[in-house]
Amino acid sequence: MYAIVEIAGQQFKVEEGKKIFVHRLESKEGVTVDFDKVLLIEDNDNVIVGEPAIKDAVVEGKILEHVRGDKVIVFKKKRKKGYRVKKGHRQNFTQIEIINILKDKSILRKPLAKTEKTKPVTAKAEEKPTAETKEAPKKAAEKKLAPKKEAKEKAPAKKSIEKKVAEKKPAEKKPAEKKTPAKKSTKGKKE
């Protein structure tokens, strides 16, 4: 049994127990992920084709790790122009192990893992803050600010230091020696 699934904008042929590399997904390692954009399922020569996707079909996968691919070298050159550019690139990938291919979502694993994360906030968070809870952060802030004020008061004031600028003495000029003009050679001239 295999299926063709679209994951992160690319189509993959997947089988149960197979490990594949896809473009980096946002989920953390060890999390189970469901891919509902199943384009085709083949089960014992029975082929189901979606238009464009099969309704109620799901592929379950588990994220094993986030890795980086091999380095790809990009080299550009224009001959006779002296133009050469060499760049390297490593693509980010996520390794996924396919756990199950399901034709119906109703057979899907227990949804407890998802509902636990998305439970509504309990009444504790909805309670209005009392006067004691309002004062506690203010006191903590005052304690943090107090040492800073003391440190500023204890620090001695720095004296301003004026730099003395040394006066530049004009350089003495030596008289230039006069050069005698060189005599012109008369070789090669006809008189």
Q: What percent of the chain has pLDDT over 90?
A: 47
With cut-offs at 50, 70 and 90, classify the pLDDT of residue 172.
confident
Alpha carbons 102 and 41: distance in angstroms, whole number: 9
C-alpha dist (Å) from residue 53 to 4, 44, 47, 49, 104: 10, 20, 13, 8, 13
pTM: 0.51
Mean pLDDT, residues 1-20 taken together = 94
Say yes or no to pLDDT of 110 above 70. no
Domain ranges, ordered by start, for the chain: 2-111
Check residue 22 and give its pLDDT: 96
Which element (helix H / strand E) includes 59?
A: strand 58-68
